[in-house]
A and B are shown apart, each in its own frame.
Chain A
Amino acid sequence: MAEAAAAAAPKPAVSFLKIPKDGAPYLEGVKCGACGEVFVGVDRTSCAACGARGKMETVKLADKGKLYNFTIVHRNFPGVPVPFVSAIVDLDGGGTLKGNLLDVNPVPDAIKFDMPVKVVIQDAGRKDKEGNSYLAYFFKPA
């Protein structure tokens, strides 16, 4: 019974998506205590930006940001629904990550650089071979 319950709980699609027992899921990063650089979800002890050792502190990443860059993907691997918008978002407070931008018309004119977006964490719509479901992060216009 316990196994069935565990299998039913969604897993994170990436390691830096945290699902607390109580409370809303969020994205996690680390911040260098020496230079202040924020990194998305990396588990490391030294800073890639300044090389400082042992200064990394875990931080909760913002759920809002701005669209830095995008592409509209029309051809992908079999089974991946197209078109979709691959977006690169600068999160408020630091950290840049790539994800799908939802709720926009996938044509160049409909997508504006620097448009405000929010981070939404929801069902990934994909399951693994064992049938486990997953939570993933997405962007939506804010």
Chain B
Amino acid sequence: MSDVYVVGVDMIKFGRFPDRTVPNIGAEAALMALDDCGLTIQDMQALYCGNLYESSAAVGQRVLREIGQTGIPVVNVANACATGATAFREGWMAIKAGVYDTVLCVGVEQMGKGLLGGGGGGGGISTEGLLGSGTMPSVFAHVGLEHSRKYGTTFEQFAKVSVKNHHHSTLNPKAMYQVETPLQEVMGAEMISYPNTKLMCSVNVDGSAAAVLMSEKKAKEKGLMSRAVRVRASAMASDPYTPRNFAMMDFNAVTRLAAKSAYEMAGLGPQDVNLVELHDCFATAELVHYENLGLCGEGKAGEFIDSGATTLGGKVPVNVSGGLLSKGHPLGATGIANIYEIATHLRGEAGARQVEGARIGLTHVVGAGSACAVHVLEKVS
């Protein structure tokens, strides 16, 4: 089977665009990705489009109305926070299967402001704040305090994730926010759900990202190998049964399953990875994923952030883009935006935030429900 390559990839600067439509926002990234590899919509054989909030409204077809209705098959994908990565993976799979040589994958989302989750069941009374809390900051506070329970991880260690990722964002012009946040400011910000303060929650923004995928044969034929990035592994998992499933959504076991599959497919281990974009929807989440992805030993995530290993210049920089915490988290776009970030480093085009000598990068997203996708990307040549 042919390897699959990312030949074109880009994202818009995330922000708030209440006067635009979802397809319009998606189309912008689609055109940027096409321009990145010098191709047109006429070169695309299929479109895989990830979007959550308008998932019943043919977003992919409406993107084509904005950039060219060529009649290609469109697959619309919704899969929680793994939506964009799932669209990317469907495109990868179609090429891997030999059905197409060239496909376009788009992730796009338009978000409101405010708390996500905690909706409760229909009818009767709302159970939010009555039977505990189901808001996302609370769900991920529970995730963090489970780690504290096991290993004594501190509020300060969780807060350091935000200090780091907000620092990284100052080097990324496409991040929603590019502001340094010292530790005292992060810890002193409004408490949302202990230990997550406001500065430890990701930003709800609008955004889009897109990638053009190609078979090796086609990429060579088109002369696109010099900036191409190889997809070394694409893996997904749903949450396996865990005894506390009913009360606590699982983000750990599902990540471990997907990571194991990805490392096996790539024939690599975590020690081979030069940089990671992982799902820091909340600061608490980033630390548990260090262990879930095997970046450090069990129970060592607190020490790992303390050591600076995951800061730009460290052993394995994590979320050099600024992460979801400062780049922003437009749900359907996030999975492809982190592919963009890794590809940019592997191409050596990341400017001030470039991870020097990066050859292998890993992306991770995990959505409530649960859905996890892990991709391993490799520099060509």
Interface residues of B in 129-172 (CB under 8 A from A): 129-135, 137-138, 141-142, 145-146, 149, 155
Q: Does B190 sit at the interface, judged by CB under 8 A?
A: yes
From A11, A14, A96, contact of B244 by CB (8 A): A96
B-contact 0/1 string along A10-22, CB 8 Å cutoff: 0101100000000
CB-CB under 8 A from A13, the residues of chain B are 124-125, 127, 130-131
Pair B133/A42 contact, Cβ less than 8 Å: no
Stretch at the interface among B28-36, B63-71, B96-104, B245-253: B245-253
Cβ-based interface call for A108 (8 A):
yes
B window 116-133: CB within 8 A of A: 118, 121, 123-133
Which residues on B sit within 8 Å (CB–CB) of A62? none
Please classify the interface of chain A as helix (H, G, I), strand (E, B), loop, or mixed, using the class held by over half of its residues.
strand
B243 touches A (CB below 8 Å): yes
CB distance from A8 to the nearest CB of B (A): 16
A13-B124, A69-B142 given; A100·B132 CB < 8 A: yes
Query: Is B241 a contact partner of A48 (Cβ separation < 8 A)?
Result: yes
Residues of B within 8 A of A41 (CB): 246
- Chain A hits for B135, CB < 8 A: 73, 76-77
**Closest beta carbon of chain B to A32's beta carbon, Å:** 11
Task: Select which of A11, A77, A127 is within 8 A of B129 by beta carbon.
Answer: A77
Task: Identify which of A69, A74, A80 contacts B192 (C-beta below 8 A).
Answer: A74
Question: CB within 8 A of A80: which of B121, B129, B193?
Answer: B129
Given the interface pairs A88-B247, A96-B244, the reply to whether A11 lies near B124 with Cβ below 8 Å is yes
Which 8 residue pairs spanning A and B have beta carbons closest together? Answer: A71-B141, A80-B129, A98-B132, A86-B132, A86-B133, A72-B194, A98-B247, A96-B244
Q: A80-B128, A124-B125 are in contact. List 12 more A-B contacts (CB 8 A).
A: A68-B149, A74-B192, A74-B194, A75-B192, A80-B129, A81-B129, A86-B132, A88-B142, A88-B244, A95-B246, A98-B132, A124-B130
